[in-house]
Chains A and B, each alone.
Chain A
Amino acid sequence: EVQLQESGPGLVKPSQSLSLTCSVTGYSITSNYWGWIRKFPGNKMEWMGYISYSGSTSYNPSLKSRISITRDTSKNQFFLQLNSVTTEDTATYYCARCGYGSYYFDYWGQGVMVTVSS
């Protein structure tokens, strides 16, 4: 069974970087696309970006200058880094797998709440 689990600090200070890990079991991240999505207080959801089976990336233009998604295939993990965070980045962050050959999300992690506050 495909399972995803987000991990990382729950509190980040403004202007610092937010770093999260998505650990995947039951499926190789060298297949499919893998994404990060966040849900803000108030429930608006935002797609942040993808990393492909080959390691190429695509980011939401609204975040392009601040975001980086990378991976470690030996650990079957992929990572999110969001720089220069503000309180507006307070959200629940999810990692997810894209359906084969497509860009909807067929498996999700449970999400990790990240608060940006001094």
Chain B
Amino acid sequence: DVQMTQSPSYLAASPGESVSISCKASKSISTYLAWYQEKPGKANKLLIYSGSTLQSGTPSRFSGSGSGTDFTLTIRSLEPEDFTVYYCQHYNEYPPTFGAGTKLELK
């Protein structure tokens, strides 16, 4: 299985700041990578797929980059609603696997 190493596990920031979350694959996955946002009591939200394509409805302050093994989710000008948990997932081959998650907290 492709292992997805997501870092950091926890990240503290303030509204208005920019943050980046890393996701590294144990082998090349081309750009078959998605990013999700998780909020308590709500359905997970797809933010980005194909490494950098914003899902319809994703605010433009979110961006994704990378290919091969190294990927980054960047959130510019953090809004209060952005402080939650984020996951990456590859879908290059079976089985698709997820990163361990990053909890973005208010500083």
Contact = CB atoms under 8 A, between A and B. Distances in A.
Interface string A96-110: 100100111111111
Interface of B: 32, 34, 36, 41-46, 49, 55, 85, 87, 89, 91, 94-98, 100-101
Interface of A: 4, 43-47, 58, 60-62, 94, 96, 99, 102-111
A105 B34 contact: yes
Q: Is the interface of B mostly helix, strand, loop or mixed?
A: loop
B43 A110 contact: yes
A109 B41 CA distance: 10
Contact of B87 (A4, A45, A107): A45
Nearest to A103: B91
25 contacts: A43-B85, A44-B98, A44-B100, A45-B87, A45-B98, A45-B101, A46-B97, A46-B98, A47-B98, A60-B94, A61-B94, A61-B95, A94-B44, A96-B44, A99-B49, A103-B96, A104-B46, A104-B91, A105-B46, A105-B89, A107-B43, A107-B46, A110-B41, A110-B43, A111-B43
A106 B46 contact: yes
Nearest to A106: B46
A97 to B, nearest CB: 10
Given A44-B98, A105-B44, 7 more contacts: A61-B94, A103-B91, A104-B34, A105-B34, A106-B55, A108-B44, A111-B43
Contacts of A102: 49, 91
Contacts of B100: 43-44
Contacts of A46: 97-98
Contact of B43 (A44, A45, A58, A109): A109
Contacts of A106: 46, 49, 55
Contacts of A109: 43
B94 A108 contact: no
A94 B42 CA distance: 12
